[in-house]
Amino acid sequence: MKNRQTTQPTGSLTLDAPPANSVTSATPYDVTGDVFGIKTLFVNVFFVGSPGPGNDWILVDAGFYGYADAIQDRAEALFGPNNPPKAVVLTHGHADHIGSLRKLLNRWGQVPVYAHPLERPYLTGLSAYPPPDPAIGGGGMSLMSWIFPIGPTDFSDVLRPIDPSGIIPELPGWRAIHTPGHAPGHISLFRDSDRTLLAGDAFVTTNQNSLSDVINQTEEIHGPPAYFTCDWPAAADSVRKLALLNPARVGTGHGVSMHGLDLQLELGRLVSEFNDRAIPSEGRYVREAAVTNENGIVSMPSPTSFVVARAIGITAGLGLVWWLLRK
């Protein structure tokens, strides 16, 4: 969107984004004066805490594989060296959100990692995720999704369940909200004092299904990445739940941060047009959701054919590698 308007939320914070200086090095993914973000290839991570050497902070998600150095560099710029986070909070455990987690934990030690109990089977080696659906159409990212790993991974040594109350001790003032659909135990984080939302992939601010939009970071609110969403009725309910919070600013798992009137109008439009704007016309989970529980997958609908999608996806993947090498 070309013209972004801002509104001042009620609460203790009044900064729409932190100033660009040697400490914060502001990015388009920063949300407030104490919520900072960076993009790791095509997925965002967030740092929550007042900047300053030695200050407490937490990490939300752990980004794509190979970005541990970038995440640590931003953390040290904000909070000083030799200052690991008090906790890591995962919105969910898809590979692009945990890719650098093990390497970071190897550096930081026994930092607690919080996730919703329904994410536990995918983060303790018990179950793989429901597989992606590259047959949904909609762009190059969808077509390439069959190559994305689905686990399981094992972080049982540090994993802690998020309490049903949504309270995370290391993150005062915030609450975790269960927003399933994209993943069974997906959560979003909300701070009531200034209506700041970290939505994860419950909704995103670029069309994550489209390779060109991902490359250009085209700013527009969309539903969750369709190729990995395994329960569309739950996803629609989750977007409605977040819209009712009337967030004043948001950071999402994909795309730049948004705030003010643009956010409110676009989110309202997504709610009212969710079936047409978010749900694919065809695909494995469109008419029947995957069934999961605390042990992982219970049942799934039959896969749709994606021979053509696989061939096109390989071509799109090679094109992405070529573009990245040129940069």
Q: Mind listing the pLDDT tens digit for each residue in 118-176?
A: 999 999 999 999 999 888 876 677 778 878 888 889 999 999 999 999 999 999 999 99
Cβ atoms of 258 and 16 within 8 Å: the answer is: no
Q: φ, ψ for residue 207 (rounded to 5)? A: -80, 95
The CA distances from residue 53 to 75, 77, 229, in Å, are 10, 8, 39
Nearest to 210 by CA among 198, 221, 218: 218
What is the pTM (predicted TM-score) of this model? Answer: 0.87
Query: What secondary structure does DSSP assign to 101-141, as a single string?
Result: HHHHHHHH-S--EEE-GGGHHHHBTS-PPPPP-GGG-SSHH
Query: What secondary structure does DSSP assign to 196-232, as a single string?
Result: EEEEETSSBSS-TT-HHHHHHT----B-S-GGG---H
Nearest to 51 by CA among 14, 29, 21, 16: 21
Cβ atoms of 200 and 253 within 8 Å: the answer is: yes
Q: Mind listing the pLDDT tens digit for each residue in 283-318?
A: 999 999 999 999 999 999 988 755 444 544 455 555
Burial of 203 (0-12, 13-18, 19+ CB in 10 A): buried
- Cis-peptide, bond into residue 149, ω within 30° of zero: no
Amino acid 323: pLDDT: 54
Average pLDDT of the segment spanning 45-64: 98
| Residue % of the chain over a pLDDT of 70 | 84
Q: Looking up tokens 């989110």, which residue turns up?
A: 267
Q: Mind listing the pLDDT tens digit for each residue in 232-248?
A: 999 999 999 999 999 99
The CATH code of domain 35-326 reads 3.60.15.10
- 181: tokens are 């659909």
Nearest to 292 by CA among 198, 199, 186, 208: 186
User: Cα(14)–Cα(32) distance, rounded to whole angstroms?
Assistant: 8
Which has the higher per-residue pLDDT, 14 or 182? Answer: 182
Domain map of the chain by residue range? 35-326
The CA distances from residue 250 to 45, 65, 67, 128, 263, in Å, are 13, 24, 23, 30, 8
